[in-house]
Amino acid sequence: MDWLDRLNIGTVLLIALTLGLAPFVPEPHVWEKLKMLMDGSLAKPIDIFDLFLHGTPWVLLIIKLVRSGLQKRI
């Protein structure tokens, strides 16, 4: 995870806000896919890929924030 530590938090946030939320209208793709996951209707391979594609930047941002918070505690 050294590569994630070397990334600037602003860069990861920018990626999460752009790729993670695109397309913005009528609602963010990741939000739509999360609702489908909660409804149990996330079954098509393209929908699963979309959730992975648009969710990965958010997961990376959360991991980066947790790791930087833990490093500050030490």
Q: What is the pLDDT of residues 52-63, one digit of tens each?
A: 999 999 999 999
Q: What is the reported pTM?
A: 0.80
Domain span including residue 13: 2-73
Question: Rounded to an integer, what distance in angstroms lies between the CA atom of residue 50 and that of residue 44?
Answer: 10
Name, in order, each residue with C-beta under 8 angstroms of 30's C-beta and a sequence gap of 6 or more: 20, 21, 51, 54, 55, 58
Angle at CA of residue 63, ends 43 and 17, nearest 5°:
70
pLDDT at residue 35, rounded to an integer = 93
How many domains does the chain fold into?
Answer: 1
Is residue 70 within 8 Å of residue 11, measured between CB atoms?
Answer: no
Q: Give me the DSSP letters along 36-68.
A: HHHHT---SHHHHHHHHHHHHHHHHHHHHHHHH
pLDDT in tens, 10-59: 999 999 989 888 887 888 888 889 999 999 999 999 999 999 999 999 99
